[in-house]
């Protein structure tokens, strides 16, 4: 039987330390400061439309912007960290700018896009179309 040498445990390298912290933090960026985040979305389609739900709790409606280009839709905005009432002890939610660009599964009608924002959930309903998609459309939240 071969003898194995027992080495004292080594200190993790800087790279190993960064990787360990990366996975401990749920794959969030490790640096401090403003970090981009991506709100979760659900997309489903019916016979005549595509429906998108995006979770944006704490984001004011005026800070949400929706744009369409061909069969892509981009949702962007910013969630502000409210300060002034004291000192934060723990901050786990993401703040700052966000952006999601989603490829729609079908070509849609440029004039038949409807967006609503209720209780932190953005709902976008896009009507399907046959043929060409519009080059660029800005969608207003009602």
CA–CA distance, 50 with 125 (Å, rounded to integer): 6
Where exactly are the structural domains of the chain? 34-139
Q: What is the pLDDT of residue 105?
A: 87
- Which among 36, 114, 44, 40 has a CA at the least distance from the CA of 79? 36
**Structure pTM?**
0.67
Average pLDDT on 120-130 reads 92
Q: What is the pLDDT of residue 116?
A: 97
Residue 114 CB: number of other CB atoms within 10 A? 15
Q: Parallel, antiparallel, or unpaired for β 49-55 and 72-79?
A: unpaired
- Which among 17, 48, 60, 63 has a CA at the least distance from the CA of 114? 48
CA–CA distance, 54 with 69 (Å, rounded to integer): 18
What's the CATH fold of domain 34-139? Immunoglobulin-like (2.60.40)
């Amino acid at each position: 039987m071969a003898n194995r040498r027992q080495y004292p445990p080594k200190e993790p390298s800087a790279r190993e330390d960064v990787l360990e912290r990366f996975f401990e933090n749920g794959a969030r960026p490790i640096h401090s400061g403003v970090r981009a985040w991506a709100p979760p979305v659900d997309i489903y389609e019916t016979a005549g439309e595509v429906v998108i739900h995006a979770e944006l709790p704490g984001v004011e409606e005026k800070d949400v912007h929706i744009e369409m280009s061909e069969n892509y839709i981009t949702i962007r905005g910013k969630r502000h960290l409210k300060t002034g009432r004291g000192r934060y002890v723990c901050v786990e939610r993401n703040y700052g700018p966000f952006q999601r660009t989603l490829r729609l599964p079908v070509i849609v009608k440029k004039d038949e896009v409807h967006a609503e924002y209720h209780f932190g959930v953005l709902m976008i309903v896009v009507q399907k179309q046959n043929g060409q998609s519009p080059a660029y459309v800005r969608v207003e939240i009602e």
